[in-house]
Amino acid sequence: MNRTRYFNYILDKLGILSYKINVKGKLNILDLHNHSENFYAHFLSKVFGWNLENLNPLKQNIEAIDLVDHTNKIVLQVSATNTKQKLESSLSKSIIAKYPAYTFKFILISREAAELAKGTFANPHGISFNPASDIIDNKAILDFILSMDIDKQKEVYQLIQKELGDDVDIVKLDSNLAVIINILSKENLALATTVTTNTFEIERKITYNNIVATKPIIDEYAKYYSRLDKKYSEFDTLGSNKSLSVLQSVNSSYIASSIEFSGTSSDNIFLNVIENVKEKVIQSANFIDIPIDELELCVKIIVVDSFIRCKIFENPLSYNYVTT
């Protein structure tokens, strides 16, 4: 595995963890925050060379400190909330006064910190705290990981594998995506009529997600749904299950894009998914060079197909994309 694949795996896993905490909330929120604090204690220690330990495993979000490093004199809060009120509330807690020689760091696990880091904050106990360097988000962490040498990246990758699990083989998943792209590029994409999509329902999903500028892409490539469906069915009949693998890969790109472009338009997210999937294909060991216009055509077909199949973006109530 090379540097790019290590990094993409780390990006996918951090993206999924942040997405669960900030958007989906499907797990018990206290259990999830407890797991995230324990994870970040090991993860941040590995990335930055700290020696963090979980200070209050039974009192999540009650006090201002979640993790502490007595060696490097750091106290740290892990938070999914990026507001001035939240940060100042943490700095004002009485427990902060017990660490006068320490530095306070605020780790944002599901939002970007760029705007928050520009602010000034009441710091009644006078603990060392510089917003520009001590407010840290996932983007800053990922930028730091990206600059690491491959051996350090591998250590981070192995830690994340152990901590967050590896229920999906990212390398195989992306390789299957490349296989599908290579095959599609050689296919006669004449339209088939085996399966008919429900145009009204797709339009409803487009409107529901406020997709405007990229709507023509969906309109243009939705017509290839039946062709790709046929190809997926051929693979799945042979037991290779490539449709699930490809759709999971596109979904992971959507999760990462949703976090990176949180607060911006759905069109930005949609375009970034296309670029992210294209990059995965190019970097795959199974990818055979094809003309860029053919590659972009195939990627757009797959991403739009994923949109139709409910794998990316939110679905309106009772959404049914196939005409029966």
Same domain, 220 and 264: yes
179 and 157 within one domain: no
Q: Of the residues 164, 188, 221, which one is the last residue of a structural domain?
A: 164
Asked whether residue 186 falls in the same domain as residue 148, the answer is no
Q: What is the pLDDT of residue 62?
A: 53
Average pLDDT along the chain, 324 residues, taken 10 residues at a time: 61 59 40 62 92 71 80 90 89 92 89 85 95 90 85 86 58 55 58 66 93 91 82 73 80 86 89 88 77 83 91 88 69
Give the per-residue pLDDT at 29.
36
Using the structure block, give the residue that is written with the tokens 């990059």.
279
Residues 86 and 127 in one domain: yes
- Which residue, 308, 62, 300, 58, is CA-closest to 189? 300
Same-domain status, 78 and 45: yes
User: Cα–Cα distance between 181 and 208 in angstroms, integer?
Assistant: 29
Give the three-state DSSP class for 103: strand
For residues 300 and 174, is the Cβ–Cβ distance under 8 A?
A: no
Confidence at residue 71, expressed as pLDDT on a 0 to 100 scale: 95
Same domain, yes or no: 142 and 18: yes
Asked if residue 48 and residue 12 are part of one domain, the reply reads yes
Across 294-312, b (16+ Cβ under 10 Å) vs e yields: ebebbbbbbbbbbbbbebb
| Residue 189 and residue 122 share a domain | no
Residue 313 included in any domain: no
Which domain covers residue 23, as residue numbers? 3-164
| Residue in 258, 264, 257 with CA at minimum distance from that of residue 279 | 257
pLDDT for the residue numbered 100: 92
Q: What is the pLDDT of residue 239?
A: 62
Domain match, 160 and 14 both:
yes
Residue 30 CB-half CA count within 13 A: 7
* In a domain? residue 316: no
Q: Residue 321: inside a domain, yes or no?
A: no
pLDDT (0 to 100) of residue 234: 77
Task: Tell me the C-alpha distance between 233 and 240, whole Å.
Answer: 10
Overall size of the chain counted in residues = 324
